[in-house]
């Protein structure tokens, strides 16, 4: 990488520009960004000995036990006047253990081993950093590098707990191979139980992982693992970045969970929040050294007006050390397989996306509104992660549609593997809220599902976790509403509302799965149309856990309810994808999008998908265009009785093609398509291995 902006050569830029010639006008912007990245990497090499050493700061900062069982405490607090360590080990004496000031705002304290050779601090000891400020304040803080923090019942703040177990968990299973088809189960450990309480890592390991495996998902994306003082924040107001949330159990419990997932062939992603931090002071990063900056920009730049949180200073050397080491920590210590980076639209732009409607005009993605400190941090993070861990998966949550987010850093891109297709769930909700079934705009639905940047992989999903929260509605709720509580029994005929809801729930999910991206995501419980919203305990609901749970018992204890039918369809949908690999295939060829008939036909991975969204019309011999000739059979049928359908198709039926140019394909076949049904057909003569 070049040292000067005027002489920057991006190795793969031509590939990017050939893929999208309209980006040629912004070549200087790409070169400037790449040049800034090159300067960062050169500085890392010169000042820190390279990325490996720089990103292992968790082995230096916080508390470390040496071979002789002495303990070294090390902090960065540039604005502090003095630092002391207090805890139950010294009777909470605020002055007995003083840190020594080091260069560059660092502080160090050594506690020798005890006379018997045991560590100077016992495992489980509670601690506080006592910060003396220049203006005479005495502040009680948790180390930013704390690996475990707990909260006593009714206590206002968290305690820093020294975590050094005598028998730490040792993983036994290797990481699974990186999936070609990514099928993600987005989950939250605390709600993953039918019981009205905070569920545990151990519960998830024993009861939820087998369910995820059975459903055919090969990846879990874990929300709310990084410690957050406010449970109802959904895990997005982080207070301790290196601590796994103690409300679900211990760090060893989480390590055991991830190891168990790996044993099942499931990769594990962490919801990574580096876009902002909680404004908490006593148990967060805010005002750690008494200043209004330290890890963050000083106000107003360092405050997010909508989220009421603090914004990192990505140009600070020590902040880069902290954040990049944070990524490394979760990969090394817990063996996560990658990250979903939350809220990066806020990072990419100085306006944070607030009151900005992105039109897709390329001028919106370049120029002075772009925060290039943040952007280069993301490039650096992806470069380091993919260099150190070639199978690492990174996913960007960006609503702006910035070009090249999912192109390699060597092309001038940000280096993410996938981006979330955030327009898709918004489209489904808009349709269900605003249009009658007969008025659905088939062309617009198709456009939304396929409108993604060529060569940049997307994760498709039909509904977001935010829609599950109180005040919004899931797809199942939009479709069936209060009848979900009274009319879901399979022992009686379906009402019109339940019939419509069951059929469209399956069809929407399959269409999104097959057409919307190169990966698929489902939020915990939505696979079976979970009948209640999600509401965390808070003052407004009398601290109730009644809605902070997932009612998996509806599938086992009440098998006559139709939730089990939706679960079965979701399972077969994933297993069918696993067999034929359409998510790993190039984008689909859509041969039919008929507005009046409400029919969609497309091929992907040489699999034929047929959807009839018409509420009343079935078609006896509908002409379906296909490219590959031969005999086709039904592989998946949303109208199957076991999935809550009406069983109108004979699964022994064979569909034979005949040569005829139609809708851009070389062959046709005649297919019976029931109303509100979806079919997946495969050719018995094709090798579908991928």
Instruction: Catalogue the active-site residues.
Output: 342, 397
| Cβ-Cβ contacts under 8 Å for 248 (sequence gap 6 or more) | 189, 190, 198, 199, 200, 201, 204, 254
How far apart, in whole angstroms, are the C-alpha atoms of residue 481 and residue 124? 48
| Cβ-Cβ contacts under 8 Å for 308 (sequence gap 6 or more) | 279
Cβ atoms within 10 Å of 87's Cβ, excluding its own:
20
How far apart, in whole angstroms, are the C-alpha atoms of residue 440 and residue 664? 24
**H or E, element range at 252:** helix 251-263
CA triple 265-266-267, angle to 5 deg: 120
Nearest residue to 378 (alpha-carbon basis) of 396, 399, 390:
396
How far apart, in whole angstroms, are the C-alpha atoms of residue 643 and residue 566? 6
What does the buried/exposed string (b/e) look like for 138-156 if buried means 16 or more CB atoms within 10 Å of the residue's CB? Answer: ebbbbbbbbbbbbbeeeee
How far apart, in whole angstroms, are the C-alpha atoms of residue 64 and residue 111? 10
Burial of 410 (0-12, 13-18, 19+ CB in 10 A): middle
Q: Is 582 helix (H, G, I), strand (E, B) or coil?
A: helix
Nearest residue to 461 (alpha-carbon basis) of 395, 412, 400:
395
Nearest residue to 378 (alpha-carbon basis) of 406, 336, 354, 353:
406
Q: How far apart are the first and last CA of the chain?
A: 36
Assess contact for 106 and 74: CB atoms under 8 A. Answer: yes
Cβ atoms within 10 Å of 191's Cβ, excluding its own:
22
Assess contact for 534 and 191: CB atoms under 8 A. Answer: yes
| Cβ-Cβ contacts under 8 Å for 665 (sequence gap 6 or more) | 589, 591, 603, 625, 626, 627
With helix as H, strand as E and coil as C, how does 329-371 read? Answer: HHHHHCCCCEEEECCHHHHHECCCCCCCCCCCCHHHHCCCCEC
Nearest residue to 128 (alpha-carbon basis) of 137, 146, 140:
140
Nearest residue to 656 (alpha-carbon basis) of 637, 676, 630:
630
CA distances 399 to 263, 360, 417, 422, 446, Å, are 35, 11, 16, 6, 19
How far apart, in whole angstroms, are the C-alpha atoms of residue 520 and residue 185? 9
Assess contact for 346 and 275: CB atoms under 8 A. Answer: yes
Assess contact for 353 and 400: CB atoms under 8 A. Answer: yes
Strand ranges across the sheet with 631-637:
589-594, 599-604, 607-612, 677-683, 631-637, 654-656
Per the listing, tokens 């063996």 go with 335
How far apart, in whole angstroms, are the C-alpha atoms of residue 340 and residue 489? 38
């Amino acid at each position: 990488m070049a040292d000067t902006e005027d002489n920057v050569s991006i190795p793969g830029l031509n590939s990017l520009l050939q893929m999208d010639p309209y980006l040629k006008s912004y070549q200087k912007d790409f070169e400037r960004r790449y040049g800034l990245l090159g300067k960062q990497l050169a500085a890392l090499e010169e000042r820190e000995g390279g990325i490996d050493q720089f990103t292992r700061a968790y082995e230096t900062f916080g508390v470390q036990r040496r071979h002789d069982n002495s303990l070294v405490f090390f902090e960065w607090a540039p604005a502090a006047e003095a630092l002391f360590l207090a805890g139950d080990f010294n009777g909470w004496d605020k002055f007995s253990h003083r840190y020594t000031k080091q260069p560059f705002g660092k502080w160090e304290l050594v506690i020798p081993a005890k006379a018997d050779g045991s560590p100077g601090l016992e495992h489980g000891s509670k601690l506080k950093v006592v910060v003396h400020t220049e203006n005479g304040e005495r502040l009680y803080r948790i180390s930013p590098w704390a690996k475990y923090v707990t909260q006593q019942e009714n206590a206002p703040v968290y305690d820093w707990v020294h975590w050094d177990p005598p028998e730490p968990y040792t993983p036994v299973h290797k990481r699974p191979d990186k999936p070609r088809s990514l099928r993600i189960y987005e989950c939250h450990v605390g709600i993953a139980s039918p019981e009205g309480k905070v569920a545990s890592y151990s519960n998830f390991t024993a009861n939820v992982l087998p369910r995820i495996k059975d459903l055919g998902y090969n990846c879990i994306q874990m929300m709310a693992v990084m410690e957050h003082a406010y449970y109802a924040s959904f895990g997005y107001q982080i207070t301790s970045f290196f601590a796994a949330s103690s409300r679900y159990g211990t760090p060893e419990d989480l390590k055991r969970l991830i190891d168990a997932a790996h044993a099942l062939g499931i990769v594990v992603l962490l919801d990574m929040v580096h876009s902002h931090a909680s404004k908490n002071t006593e148990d967060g990063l805010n005002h750690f050294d008494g200043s209004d900056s330290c890890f963050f920009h000083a106000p107003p730049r360092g405050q997010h007006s909508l989220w009421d949180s603090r914004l990192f200073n990505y140009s600070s050397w020590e902040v880069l050390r902290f954040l990049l080491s944070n990524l490394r920590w979760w990969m090394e210590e817990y063996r996560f397989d990658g990250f979903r980076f939350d809220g990066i639209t806020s990072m990419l732009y100085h306006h944070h996306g607030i009151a900005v409607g992105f039109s897709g005009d390329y001028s919106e993605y370049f120029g002075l509104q772009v925060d290039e400190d943040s952007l280069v941090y993301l490039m650096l993070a992806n470069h380091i992660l993919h260099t150190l861990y070639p199978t690492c998966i990174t996913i960007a949550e960006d609503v702006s549609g910035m070009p090249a987010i999912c192109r390699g850093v060597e092309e001038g891109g940000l280096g993410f593997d996938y981006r979330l297709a955030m327009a898709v769930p918004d489209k489904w909700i808009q349709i269900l809220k605003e249009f009658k079934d007969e008025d659905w705009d088939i062309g617009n639905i198709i456009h939304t599902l396929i409108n993604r940047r060529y060569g940049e992989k997307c994760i498709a999903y039909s509904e977001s976790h935010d829609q599950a929260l109180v005040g919004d509605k899931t797809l199942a709720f939009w479709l069936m509403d209060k009848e979900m509580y009274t009319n879901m029994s399979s022992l009686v005929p379906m009402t019109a509302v339940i019939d419509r809801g069951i059929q469209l729930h399956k069809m929407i999910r399959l269409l999104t799965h097959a057409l919307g991206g190169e990966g698929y995501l489902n939020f915990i419980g939505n696979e079976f149309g979970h009948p209640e919203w999600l509401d965390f305990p808070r003052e407004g609901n009398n601290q109730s856990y009644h809605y902070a749970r997932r009612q998996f018992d509806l599938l086992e204890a009440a098998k006559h309810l139709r939730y089990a039918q939706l679960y079965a369809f979701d399972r077969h949908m994933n297993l069918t994808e696993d067999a034929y690999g359409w998510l790993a295939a190039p984008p689909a060829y859509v041969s039919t999008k008929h507005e009046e008939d409400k029919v969609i036909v497309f091929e992907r991975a040489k699999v034929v998908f047929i959807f009839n969204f018409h509420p009343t019309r079935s078609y006896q011999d509908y002409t379906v265009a296909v490219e590959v000739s031969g005999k086709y059979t039904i592989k998946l049928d949303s109208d199957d009785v076991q999935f809550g359908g009406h069983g109108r198709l004979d699964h022994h039926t064979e569909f034979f093609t005949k040569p005829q140019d139609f809708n851009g394909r070389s062959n046709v076949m005649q297919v019976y398509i029931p109303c509100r049904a979806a079919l997946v057909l495969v050719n018995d003569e094709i090798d579908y291995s991928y």
